Chain A
Amino acid sequence: EPEVTQTPSHQVTQMGQEVILRCVPISNHLYFYWYRQILGQKVEFLVSFYNNEISEKSEIFDDQFSVERPDGSNFTLKIRSTKLEDSAMYFCARSTGPDSGNTIYFGEGSWLTVV
């Protein structure tokens, strides 16, 4: 099954700036996720998104984060005011849904560096 495609692959941003990370259009997918991986650490769940709504979010996903999928197009993660500790690899993912064992397929990741 095809994985999701993410852009940009790498972004460097100044602390305090807004960043938007994108999954390119995949019109027939319903379940989406964002995960992040700080360098050398485990993969951490951020948020799950189903039927154009957030279905679950972790304690990491605070008010500076938001997700949207306007008009069934790109699935985006926005970080409003980046902090140094937001530097990480951010993975977009999709799943086949609970009827298929919740297998999650990951994109190649967007590497965010906050300076």
Chain B
Amino acid sequence: AQSVTQLGSHVSVSEGALVLLRCNYSSSVPPYLFWYVQYPNQGLQLLLKYTSAATLVKGINGFEAEFKKSETSFHLTKPSAHMSDAAEYFCAVSTNNNDMRFGAGTRLTVKP
């Protein structure tokens, strides 16, 4: 079965600083990988996804993630954090069996 591990339940950055949220996956078959964002009291919104095309994936709101098979990683980055980026971020993995498993989430705090 596939799974993801998010390193760091809480990340705090200053406004304008680099955002790096870590995700490592485990899968016995080629995975599909996703990042979702959850703003307070809202549902899950898809940020970006990797589906075996380009390894560097660009998403909404200036976020991007790079699939690295050798490291089994799919870290999420943004060059310059904005106050509006404060939210919970979930990494997720799925395969052709058509289900999805989520990581525990990383809460991003952006300081002014």
* CB–CB A102/B32 < 8 A: yes
Q: Which of A's residues lie within 8 Å of B, judged by CB? A: 3, 31, 33, 35, 41-45, 48, 50, 55-56, 91, 95, 97-98, 100-109
Contact of A50 among B46, B98, B101, B104 (CB under 8 A): B98
The interface residues of chain A lying within 8 Å CB-to-CB of B103 are: 42
Instruction: Known contacts A42-B104, A105-B46, A106-B43; decide if A56 and B34 are in contact (CB<8 Å).
Output: no
User: Bound state CA distance, A33 and B102, in angstroms?
Assistant: 14
Residue of B at shortest CB range from A111?
B41
Residue of A at shortest CB range from B97?
A56
Most chain B beta-carbon neighbours within 10 Å: one of A31, A43, A105: A43
Q: From B62-70, B71-79, B88-96, give the one contacting chain A.
A: B88-96
* CB–CB A108/B42 < 8 A: yes
The interface residues of chain A lying within 8 Å CB-to-CB of B94 are: 101-102, 104
Q: Which 5 A-B pairs have the closest CB atoms?
A: A101-B51, A102-B94, A106-B44, A43-B102, A108-B43
* CB–CB A45/B101 < 8 A: yes
Contact of B49 among A42, A56, A101 (CB under 8 A): A101
Residue of A at shortest CB range from B45?
A106
User: Bound state CA distance, A104 and B103, in angstroms?
Assistant: 15
Count residues on chain B whose CB falls below 8 Å from chain A CBs. 25
Residue of B at shortest CB range from A98?
B96
* CB–CB A55/B98 < 8 A: yes
User: Bound state CA distance, A2 and B46, in angstroms?
Assistant: 12
Residue of B at shortest CB range from A95?
B98
User: Bound state CA distance, A56 and B90, in angstroms?
Assistant: 22
Interchain residue pairs with CB less than 8 A apart (17): A3-B43, A35-B102, A42-B105, A43-B90, A43-B102, A45-B101, A55-B98, A95-B100, A98-B96, A98-B98, A101-B52, A102-B32, A102-B94, A104-B34, A104-B94, A106-B45, A107-B43
Contact of B43 among A33, A45, A50, A91 (CB under 8 A): A91
The interface residues of chain B lying within 8 Å CB-to-CB of A104 are: 34, 46, 92, 94, 100
